A and B are shown apart, each in its own frame.
Chain A
Amino acid sequence: GNSVTQMEGPVTLSEEAFLTINCTYTATGYPSLFWYVQYPGEGLQLLLKATKADDKGSNKGFEATYRKETTSFHLEKGSVQVSDSAVYFCALSYSGGSNYKLTFGKGTLLTVNP
């Protein structure tokens, strides 16, 4: 079956540090890959996505590249800010008939200190 494995954390960084959150997946076919972010007490927001191999998703300084050969979609940011403190979820989508369902990783809590 489909699954997503991401580093569990928590991850604690100082402001302006480099961020990497690893995500690997297992899937049949060619899934789409996503990173969602959940700020404290809120729902999930789409951060970025990639729909095919070698695609790079980017948003708000975050980037992730769909690597089919390593089945990975690692999230990176060159310089984190305190406002980036949140839980980050890696996810993949697969088609089940006419509906699309997401399989999530367990989430990684990121805390950025000033």
Chain B
Amino acid sequence: SQTIHQWPATLVQPVGSPLSLECTVEGTSNPNLYWYRQAAGRGLQLLFYSIGIGQISSEVPQNLSASRPQDRQFILSSKKLLLSDSGFYLCAWSKTKKSSGNTIYFGEGSWLTVV
């Protein structure tokens, strides 16, 4: 069966410091990968998605970047964090097969507080 893990689960970082959140998927190959953010009291916003190694699409301009160095690894980064980067970050994956109702599966999430 497929599993998805992301870490760290909780992170408190000062403004201006770098960020690295990592996500890995097991039990599948060539998945689509996603990073979502859930700000306090708000819905989920898609930040990045990737359909293959080195292929990253950004949904919203921001202070963050994403990379996919390996097939099942997805990394969310920032060189200098802003207070507004605080939130709950969720990694997710889906199959690449074109079929209706393709489900997206989420990791456990990472709480980021920028102070």
Contact = CB atoms under 8 A, between A and B. Distances in A.
Interface of A: 30, 32, 34, 36, 42-46, 49-52, 89, 93, 95, 97-102, 104-107
A98 B6 CA distance: 24
B43 A93 contact: no
B46 A93 contact: no
Contacts of A45: 106
A93 B103 CA distance: 8
Contact of B44 (A32, A98, A104): A104
Given A43-B108, A98-B96, A89 B44 contact: yes
Contacts, number: 59
A43 B90 contact: yes
B43 A106 contact: yes
A43 B109 CA distance: 5
Interface residues of B, number: 23
Contacts of B49: 99, 101
Contacts of B101: 32, 49-51, 93
Nearest to A46: B103
Q: Main SS of the interface on chain A?
A: strand
Given A98-B51, A99-B96, A101-B49, A43 B102 contact: no
A93 B108 contact: no
A99 B51 contact: yes
B106 A44 contact: yes
Contacts of A107: 43-44
Given A43-B90, A89-B44, A106-B43, A100 B102 contact: yes
A42 B103 contact: no
